[in-house]
Amino acid sequence: MEKKSRSKFSSKLGFVLAAAGSAVGLGNIWRFPYLAAKYGGGIFLLVYLILAFTFGYTMIMTESTLGRMTEKSPVGAYKHFGASKFLKAGGWLNAIIPLLIVPYYSVIGGWVMKYLFTYLSGNGSSASKADAFAKFTTSAQEQVFWFVLFTLITMLIIFGGVRNGIEAVSKIMMPILVFLAIVIVFYSVTRPGAIKGVKYFLIPNFSQFSYKTVVAALGQMFYSLSIAMGILYTFGSYMKKDIDIEKTTKQVEIFDTAIAVLAGLMVIPAVFAFDGGKNLNAGPGLMFVALPKVFNSMGFGGFIGVVFFLLVLLAAVTSSVALAESVVSTFEDELHFTRKRAATVTATIMLILGTLSALGFNVLSSVKIFNMDILSFFDFLTNSVMMPIAAIATCVLVLKVVKIKTIEDEIKTTSKFRRKIVYNFVIKYVAIIFLLVILVTSVLGAF
């Protein structure tokens, strides 16, 4: 068996930053605001917060503890505990999800690059025109060009093995991102008419609640906290034994949520101030439609646009590298591919699936899968179908094979385990049933 000793994060801060760097990405800035806008604002936020701090917490703790105990990524971790064949498939499911996310993630990454380029070339104000975004998405060449460029950057970083730079990039990027987000939020919420949006986003309106709110919030929680996609197993495996898992979980959870809330406050009030709230259902394009209007109306807006899209691009690249890297290392470890072969296979799959998603807005716009465009379908398939199943597998692994007590003992070697009651309650009584219900409703809802 492999006896390589695993390299570890240099410091506690290193771990938190790397985890936060991969947690904070397009999920927080692009995905969260458009879902919140679409699924009822305050009620979505409330459901999201409850889920993140109970269920999300439980899953982060579980996955990183399993990773730290076994020093393995998900496939290896499941094997390590001698899971049944059936359950082992759950390990593979966790490991393979990033391969389906990273292609469409890179399409959105391409959008960010395009907007950065537009602002850099001094044409920022053109991005604020009403049909700018629609024009952009209906151009097949542009969609594919920016997607391929983003994918190349991701794969160059992987091939070049400079992923160690990621920790360094995150360290500089995160504080600037937070600062800039606060500036933009301040501007956005003080626009005339914006206060309606602030209220819409922050005050729950229970009449807007439906099962769809829960399905969307749960999928978003997985996505944003990088749960149920193998990532946290891998992070855990690189974690030193003396790291306080509970504390780092808390930090990542709070930081990730704070960025999402800031992004909501940037985007949603602007939708009210500039469009009278008409665009709430815009979907994946929301940020790209709303923010240029904010920038256009502010002093130094062109400059703010450059800095903003640059930071979002960095956040997107650190995430896409983490996603692609986790696929590459699964291929290396479990299928014994050379690194080069693993990266080539990953890149090829990325290019095929991503191109399909990019073309779904133009050449292939007549292709609808369950009434969704191709990108939204991949997003739905991963977040609302595969991740709930992957999370169920992890819960079953803990309950039936590893046993909660083992997890508890491991956590207690370094942490007080303050939320132990929450943890036990969620994993024993709530998680699996809840996930099954969500899974069934979201699949049925798709028909």
Residues near ligand PHE (CB under 6 A) = 22-23, 25-28, 223-224, 226, 229, 231, 319, 322-323
Q: How many CB atoms lie within 10 A of CB 242?
A: 8
Which is nearer to ligand PHE, 198 or 265 (by Cβ)? Answer: 265
Which is nearer to ligand PHE, 43 or 221 (by Cβ)? Answer: 221
Rounded to a whole number of angstroms, the minimum distance from the CB of residue 97 to ligand PHE is 9
Rounded to a whole number of angstroms, the minimum distance from the CB of residue 328 to ligand PHE is 13
Which is nearer to ligand PHE, 144 or 229 (by Cβ)? Answer: 229
Which is nearer to ligand PHE, 322 or 342 (by Cβ)? Answer: 322
C-alpha 237/C-alpha 67 separation (Å) is: 4
Q: Which of 399, 320, 344 has its CA nearest to residue 113?
A: 320
Rounded to a whole number of angstroms, the minimum distance from the CB of residue 3 to ligand PHE is 28
The two three-digit tokens of residue 363, written as one number: 């050449």
Residues in the chain: 447
Q: Which of 389, 383, 362 has its CA nearest to residue 374?
A: 362
Which is nearer to ligand PHE, 137 or 319 (by Cβ)? Answer: 319
Contacts of 274 (CB under 8 A, 6+ apart): 191, 290, 293, 294, 297
Rounded to a whole number of angstroms, the minimum distance from the CB of residue 274 to ligand PHE is 25
Rounded to a whole number of angstroms, the minimum distance from the CB of residue 27 to ligand PHE is 2
C-beta separation of 361 from 45 below 8 A: no
C-alpha 25/C-alpha 254 separation (Å) is: 15
Rounded to a whole number of angstroms, the minimum distance from the CB of residue 319 to ligand PHE is 3
CA angle 152–155–161, rounded 5-degree value:
140
Rounded to a whole number of angstroms, the minimum distance from the CB of residue 229 to ligand PHE is 6
DSSP 3-state of 372: strand
Which is nearer to ligand PHE, 252 or 439 (by Cβ)? Answer: 252
The two three-digit tokens of residue 81, written as one number: 């505990």
- End-to-end, the C-alpha distance of the chain in Å comes to 46
| Helix ranges restricted to H, 190-243 | 194-202, 211-225, 231-237
Rounded to a whole number of angstroms, the minimum distance from the CB of residue 248 to ligand PHE is 15
Which is nearer to ligand PHE, 132 or 311 (by Cβ)? Answer: 311
Q: Which of 18, 69, 376, 426 has its CA nearest to residue 231?
A: 18
Rounded to a whole number of angstroms, the minimum distance from the CB of residue 321 to ligand PHE is 8
Which is nearer to ligand PHE, 18 or 194 (by Cβ)? Answer: 18
Contacts of 245 (CB under 8 A, 6+ apart): 61, 64, 65, 68, 236, 239, 411, 414, 415
Paired strand residues for 372: 369
Which is nearer to ligand PHE, 231 or 287 (by Cβ)? Answer: 231
The two three-digit tokens of residue 19, written as one number: 């985890």
Nearest-CB residue for ligand PHE: 27
